[in-house]
Amino acid sequence: MSPIRAVATGLITILSACAAREPSTHVASSRESSSLDPRDWFASGSGAPTPAIAAVEPARVAEKAPPSPAVKKRASAFGADLPSFVVKDEEAVRAEPTDDSEQLGTLLPGARISVVALGEQRKACRWMEIEPAGWICARGEPSKLAPSADVYPRLWARGYDGRVFRDEDDIRANGGYKPAQPVAIVRPWPVKPITIDKKQYMRTADGEYVPWTSVPRYWGDEYAGVALDGAKTPKLPIAWTWFHETHEKPTPVHAGPSRKDKVVRSLPLRARVDLLAEEGKWVRIGDGEWVAREDLKIIRGPAAPPPEVTGANEVWVDVVLSQQALVLYRGKTPIHATLVSTGREKYPTPTGIFRIKKKTPVSTFQSPRPDLIDYKIEDVAWAMHISDVYAIHGAWWNRGFGVPISLGCVDVPATDIRVVYEHVEPKIPPGWWQAHATKEHPGSVVRIRLN
């Protein structure tokens, strides 16, 4: 059995969330019924082990580009006592106060934004200039609350039957209550617990608390890529192990460049190794230690940027299909690398030069053709759309990073997707659900190539 088939039929039984159209823009506020929920697939016998009841600390985040000069904030149009405006409906943010001007982004119902100027009153709405940029024609009302912070994906404490604590006093009083529905947990970045009286907790979407151990580690959190831009970080080329026969076996390390040579040790799936020398079809990873090249996913480079990358410090993304690898660059300098999952043979990921059209921190992906394949996956994190069909996004359900098993999108591990998302353009303002690239500020370049 080929490694791709083995993963697709054994370790991974779920299909990726990419569809033949743009994902649904609906973000569920609570768990909704679904004919096939991926969390239920794992629970119903895919053969995958139960995830550890813990959260993992993300790898060191590659250093960001220098921040833009600070811009002085303007006063609220409603006065100091009303610093925000709560929008009633989903609203498009426009570059100018006209319906046909360029769209900068999207706000969800309930978003609190800072309004700095009032424009034309229409029958159904009023134009308002908002911080940090753009106009909305919206219904809603001013609020005493501060503008919304960043929109984050959620974790679901599925199967948690313990107590939820309303506040710190409730914790200290050993109070709490049993939730009637699965608890939605805000997933901060980086993932860190809140310590109260030497015990660790996570905050729910309602501002309450649950024990840190109530949320299983997400399946995609088991693997993370590596930063490349520090003084002590690895440099390209680098590689990860993936035994060519099956993911279920460790990768043998031989004493010489032949399978007839003695096996001196074994490495687990996706162990990172350095490439010290190459001889024929073999790679030396240490003194007297050799691994067959077919048992490795190798990221070579640094790669030359495409002509579309014109700035010396311009951030761009390079995806190599043959190695199922993604490298984030700043100009000619690689700053982060990871394994990914691109489209399987029936649903190939397109090659070429793209730009990120828009970014969405959390969304729901739903099948456009449930008669052919039915799925609905909530909390798809940090999506970067390169077309109306394809995106680079987080994939918490994926344990097969390193083989092509998606429906055409680029699935990225949980830790690494936020690194990419934070670096690339367009930037997304706090509280916005979506940001669009514009003619004046085009999105970052994405190159997808076979080799």
User: pLDDT (tens digit, 9 = 90+) per residue, 163-222?
Assistant: 899 999 999 999 999 888 777 776 655 567 889 999 999 888 778 998 887 765 554 556
Tell me: pLDDT of 101 over 70: yes
Place of tokens 């090249």: 293
Tell me: pLDDT of 86 over 90: yes
Q: Which domains does the chain have, with CATH numbers?
A: 3-59+301-449 (2.40.440.10), 84-137 (2.30.30), 159-215 (no CATH), 237-299 (2.30.30.40)
- Non-local CB neighbours of 313 within 8 Å, separated by 6+ positions: 65, 330, 331
What is the structure's pLDDT at 72? Answer: 67
112-138 in b/e form (b: 16+ CB < 10 A) is: bbbbbeeeeeeeebbbbbbbeebbbbb
Tell me: pLDDT of 32 over 70: no
C-alpha span between 18 and 407 (Å, rounded): 5
Nearest by Cα to 55 from 416, 415, 418, 397: 415
Q: Checking DSSP bridges between strand 238-241 and strand 226-227, what pairing results, if any?
A: unpaired
Strand ranges for 95-211 from DSSP E: 103-107, 112-113, 115-121, 126-130, 135-138, 140-143, 154-157, 183-186, 194-196, 199-203, 209-211
Question: Is the pTM above the cut of 0.85?
Answer: no
Amino acid at 116: V
Inter-CA distances, 157 with 166, 186, 190, 213, Å = 16, 11, 18, 9
What is the structure's pLDDT at 48? Answer: 29
Q: Is cis: bond before 302, omega within 30 of 0? A: yes
Tell me: pLDDT of 28 over 70: no
What is the structure's pLDDT at 30? Answer: 28
Alpha carbons within 13 A on the beta-carbon side of 158: 16
Place of tokens 């996913």: 297
CA 426 vs. chain centroid, Å, equals 15
Q: Checking DSSP bridges between strand 445-449 and strand 315-320, what pairing results, if any?
A: parallel
Q: Which of 143-157, 299-313, 415-429 has the lowest mean pLDDT?
A: 143-157
Q: Using H for helix, E for strand and C for coil, what is the string for 348-376?
A: CCCCEEEECCEEEEEEEEECCCCCCCCCE
